[in-house]
Structure 1
Amino acid sequence: METNQSDKQLNSITLLNQMMSDPYYLFHFLAFFSYIPVRCAASQVFSPLFSSYLLHREIQAVIAFSVLTVVKVVREETWEAFIADTIFFAKIFLFGIALVVDYHLALWYMLAFLVIYILTQQPPYQGIGATLQLTPLQLEALLTDGNTSRFWLVECRALSSSACVQASRVFPELSITYSNKNLSFGVVDLGLFPNTAEKFGVSLGSNDRLPTYILFENGVEITRFPELDFEAKTSTSTITKKLLCRHFELDRHLIDYINSK
């Protein structure tokens, strides 16, 4: 119990340090914090009636933002997805309040957020769990080598995709629980090897196909998520550990391995 608490505290400290040092988080923090001095300076020229109206709108925005944040804490699978959604909502509310103050201020915030979007990118989860970071050639060699695991579950991703960043924690955490001598986990970053994307049946131009998870048995693909014909379906499921466990029957694979020992 004490070890789990220490790990959680360490993860929280690591996440906090990353948020304060990474340009993506730092620039957003500065943009949000800038409203305070702007508000204090502008309040001196506001009439008492407008100041009261603005304060009322700010309180409404804070309450609405807090409610959405609580909902996202409960519903989101990963911290990366929660932070991305929280920052997105914060941008909307800040833009709305700035629009109440003056439309010029709202335009400046819109420009600032556009620059941040162009110059920075949300960092992915840094842990690797029990996964192997592979090149396409390394993966092909492992799949054709009869001495390696019978099953390989491979994540094909591109960290330029926000969906891949927000789901980057799911696969390493799954690998910690389900990795064994019969089932191995590997990650191929197709953003670094775009010419091999077609080989895996992945289109880098479609965010709906990223990340793609493929299960190989003895070097042969047996299933994947999302499936190749998923465009004919209406489902756009968020990547979760429960979803991947159910689709690839990871519990069954683990039980089979335990029973075979």
Structure 2
Amino acid sequence: MAPSAADMVLGLKSILIPHYIGNIILGLSYFVMKTFPPICTRIFEDCSLEMKEWEWITFLGCVIVLKNRKQATFGAYVNTACLFAKVLCGFLFFKTNAMYGILYGVACLLHFVFLPEPMYTGPEMVTYFRGPNLDEEIKRDKRVIWLITFYVAWSPPCVSFANLFSELSAEYSLDNLKFGKIDISKYPEVAEKYRINASAMSRQLPTIIMIEGGEETMRKPYISPKGTVVRYVFNKENIIKDFELNIAYDKCKKNPLKPRKSDKEKAE
């Protein structure tokens, strides 16, 4: 589904902060400086991009499109695009003059240190599981619906999705609709049980699984009958729609958990 005009405006507003602006400037720096006089006349021999440079830019565009297919937010999309653009800019600056490349690397380092990516600072209602306590908690009360993210800390898509999952937990969490996370790089037995590949080349990171009545009812991304991972775009709209969070929330809201009777009360 194509984003609406309102979504695009909201996405643009979300990147109008120093971190993203600095990232965009660094990502475009070589191409602007190489073609914008009088800067190009002072630094480079001419003010035009060479054919080889145009080929690299085209290749960069293809890489950005491929790598950005699963980004959760507009900001994550911009950051990934800028990351690959900065790699190319650094190479081109260094190719022109080693000192230019070093100075560009220092500029990127300063940006990383002094203008870090903003983190989600709002409330979250997420349970962080540690190995066996995942199944214990699920079995404790099967009236609870769980939405669980299986992730690894070093995966960029998992890091990008973390803020969005926290926002969803704050918006939808109830006593009988809960959100959880588990780092499957630390608990490979959990990854194996839930059939999730946690390797560096995995296309299953992150994986979200909905559990109702103690059983899995939905997962994204899912594995096709042919054994291939079906690509999934992790954005708020898709998750709410595909996991039917509004329906689950209304159902849980209308049927709050009632205290269970103790064995003594049952006997009486």
Query: What TM-score range do you get, normalising by the shorter chain?
Result: 0.5 to 0.7
- Structure with greater helix share of residues: 1
State the shift of 1:176 in Å. Answer: 1.4
Identity of aligned residues (%): 22
Give me the whole-angstrom Cα distance separating, in 1, the residues matched to 2:225 and 2:231.
9
State the shift of 1:211 in Å. Answer: 0.6
Q: Is the contact made by 2:71 and 2:157 (CA closer than 8 Å) also made in structure 1?
A: no
Give me the whole-angstrom Cα distance separating, in 2, the residues matched to 1:106 and 1:210.
39
State the shift of 1:231 in Å. Answer: 6.0
Give 1:226's match in structure 2, choosing from 200, 221, 226: 221
1:113-192 alignment, distance < 5 Å: 125=119, 129-146=124-141, 149-192=143-186
Q: Is the contact made by 1:129 and 1:173 (CA closer than 8 Å) also made in structure 2?
A: yes
1:1-261 alignment, distance < 5 Å: 50=46, 52-53=47-48, 77-78=72-73, 81-91=76-86, 94-95=89-90, 97-98=92-93, 102-103=95-96, 105=98, 125=119, 129-146=124-141, 149-205=143-199, 206-229=201-224, 235-260=230-255
The Cα offsets for residues 125-169 of structure 1, whole Å up to 9 and x where unpaired, read as 5657111111122211111113x7521111100021121112222
Q: Is the contact made by 1:151 and 1:215 (CA closer than 8 Å) also made in structure 2?
A: yes
Going from structure 1 to structure 2, the CA distance change for 1:77 and 1:228 (only over 3 Å counts) comes to closer
Give me the whole-angstrom Cα distance separating, in 1, the residues matched to 2:194 and 2:229.
23
Taking structure 1 as the reference length, what is the TM-score of the superposition? 0.60
| Secondary structure, counterpart of 1:168 in structure 2 | helix
Give me the whole-angstrom Cα distance separating, in 1, the residues matched to 2:179 and 2:93.
47
> Mind listing any 5+ residue stretches in structure 1 that lack a counterpart?
1-11, 20-25, 55-74
Q: How many residues align?
A: 213
> Mind listing any 5+ residue stretches in structure 2 that lack a counterpart?
1-13, 50-69, 257-268
Q: Is the contact made by 2:148 and 2:209 (CA closer than 8 Å) also made in structure 1?
A: yes
Going from structure 1 to structure 2, the CA distance change for 1:182 and 1:46 (only over 3 Å counts) comes to closer
The Cα offsets for residues 40-84 of structure 1, whole Å up to 9 and x where unpaired, read as 99976866xx3x447xxxxxxxxxxxxxxxxxxxx9642651342
| Structure 1 vs Structure 2 CA RMSD | 4.7
State the shift of 1:202 in Å. Answer: 0.6
Give me the whole-angstrom Cα distance separating, in 1, the residues matched to 2:180 and 2:43.
60
Greater displacement, 239-248 / 77-86? 77-86
State the shift of 1:218 in Å. Answer: 2.4
Greater displacement, 205-214 / 230-239? 230-239
State the shift of 1:96 in Å. Answer: 7.0
Going from structure 1 to structure 2, the CA distance change for 1:79 and 1:168 (only over 3 Å counts) comes to farther
Taking structure 2 as the reference length, what is the TM-score of the superposition? 0.59
Going from structure 1 to structure 2, the CA distance change for 1:124 and 1:155 (only over 3 Å counts) comes to farther
